[in-house]
Amino acid sequence: MYRFPCLFFAFVFWGSVHGGPQTKPHPDVTDQELFWGADQYDFAVVLTSSAMECFWHFAHRGETFYLNFMVQWVTGVGQDRHLSVTINAPSGLLLSSVDDVKGQINFEATETGFYQMCFNNFHNRFSNMQVFLSFGVYYDDNRDPSKSKEEEEKKKKEEVSKELNNTLSIIEDSTLTVEKYVFHMFRYYSFSRMSKSADFYLLASNSQYITWWSTALSLLIVTSGYLQLRFLKSLFVSKTCTEDEKPRC
């Protein structure tokens, strides 16, 4: 008679354990797809036709998560430069979705765990594309969100008790402010580098396209001129004539 209550509590406990946010590395994901050793990453990835690549980045609650992406080049038949990007929370909730050539996504992390970023090339059935990615986390208020409230209150009391002319405190605050501004400048520089690389690949592709078409048209003009000359020559009857006879058409 006690079996059913025991089974009920076992199912409830099992659901509460496996239904929360994902805070541990995924067992079925390689180390190259998990990013949690640094605050920001910049690299390029090649997506084959109709392929999807997913990456995971670890973020604490209270951190600001950002993602910048841009399609650099597309090769193949039926080229479409649009890329579908989705970001899911550790609990599986869809946070953002973008379908464009380039984009910027920023949001404040409300959960601690691995955030999933998926890049889908479903617009191209027969074309590959290279995408430049820049993503990571940062703090807006120069504080570590993992600290407890007691430590924050203690720090505030210590800061109030400091004197106004404390040189070390002023230098520390100025250093943190400069560090934050430098980090945001690095983000904007990374996005501008995406644009320059995409323009370079576009110019290289257009140059190759113009070269091939110029060569093809030159051969077409020379061939058509040769055929016209042969056609005009075939209209004249060539035979040996005496001094009194003249060649006729």
Convert the pLDDT of each residue in 219-230 to its tens digit: 999 999 888 888
Residue 230 domain-assigned (yes or no): no
> DSSP letters of the chain?
--HHHHHHHHHHHHHHHHSS---S--TTS-GGGEE-SSSEEEEEEEE-TT-EEEEEEEE-TTPEEEEEEEEEEEEEES----EEEEEE-TTS-EEEEEEESEEEEEEE--S-EEEEEEEE-TT-SEEEEEEEEEEEEE-SSS--TTS-HHHHHHHHHHHHHS-TT-HHHHHHHHHHHHHHHHHHHHHHHHHHHHHHHHHHHHHHHHHHHHHHHHHHHHHHHHHHHHHHHHHHHHTS------SS-----
Q: What's the pLDDT band for 159 if we cut at 50, 70, 90?
A: low
Residue 214 domain-assigned (yes or no): no
Non-local CB neighbours of 39 within 8 Å, separated by 6+ positions: 136, 137, 138
Most confidently modeled range among 2-6, 124-128, 206-210: 124-128
| Type of residue numbered 83 | L
How many domains, in total, are found in the chain? 1
Residue 249 domain-assigned (yes or no): no
Give the per-residue pLDDT at 163.
60
CA distances from 97 to 56, 80, 188 (A): 16, 18, 21
Residue 89 domain-assigned (yes or no): yes
Q: Which residue has the higher pLDDT, 241 or 217?
A: 217
Segments forming the whole domain that contains residue 134: 14-204
Residue 247 domain-assigned (yes or no): no
Q: What's the pLDDT band for 23 if we cut at 50, 70, 90?
A: low
Residue 216 domain-assigned (yes or no): no
Residue 218 domain-assigned (yes or no): no
Answer yes or no: is pLDDT of 169 > 90. Answer: no
Report residue 239 as tokens: 């035979």
Domain CATH for 104: 2.60.120.680
Residue 248 domain-assigned (yes or no): no
pTM surpassing 0.85? Answer: no
